[in-house]
Amino acid sequence: MADRSLRGIRLGAQSLQSEEGVVFMERRETTYLCETCNHVTNLMFAADAEPPQTWECRACGAEAVLRVDGKTITPDAVDEKAARTPWDMLLERRTRAELEELLEERLAFVRARRGDTAQEKIGA
C-alpha cells in the first residue's frame, strides 16, 4: 500500500513547469544611472524593445536616466498638452453666445419656479 500512495508537494513553492523546449527571446541589458544617489540599475529588455529613457531608482525613488555605451542619454523634452478643463470642453461644443442664451433660459426657469419676477426685485 505504501508504494501506491501519493506524495504531496508544497503548494505555490515550486513550479511544475520546466524550461525544456522553451525558446527565449533575444534580450539585452539596459543600464540606468540615478543622478541623485549614483545608484546603477541594470534591467533586461527584449532586443527589439525600445527601453524607456527614465526609470524609477530602486534605492531612492528618484528618476534614473538611461546610459548607452557609458554615456548618459538625456530624456527628450516631452511635449505635454495642457490639461483640458471642463470649460475648454464646453467651449468646443458651444459658442459663448449660445451659453449666454442657455444661462438666461435656466435662470428664467429657476426664477419662475421660485416665484421670483423682475417686478418683485425692482419693488424690493
How do residues 38-69 score in pLDDT, each as one tens digit? 999 999 999 999 999 899 998 898 999 999 88
Listed by start position, the domains of the chain span 26-78, 81-115
Whole-model pTM: value is 0.48
| pLDDT score of 37 | 94
Buried b (16+ CB within 10 A) or exposed e, 8-20: eeeeeeeeeeeee
| Sign (positive or negative) of CA dihedral 62, 66, 69, 72 | negative
| Sign (positive or negative) of CA dihedral 61, 67, 71, 77 | negative
Three-state DSSP at 116 gives coil
The class that CATH gives domain 26-78 is mainly beta
Euclidean distance between CA atoms 70 and 97, whole angstroms = 60
Q: Residue 33 in contact with residue 53, Cβ under 8 Å?
A: no
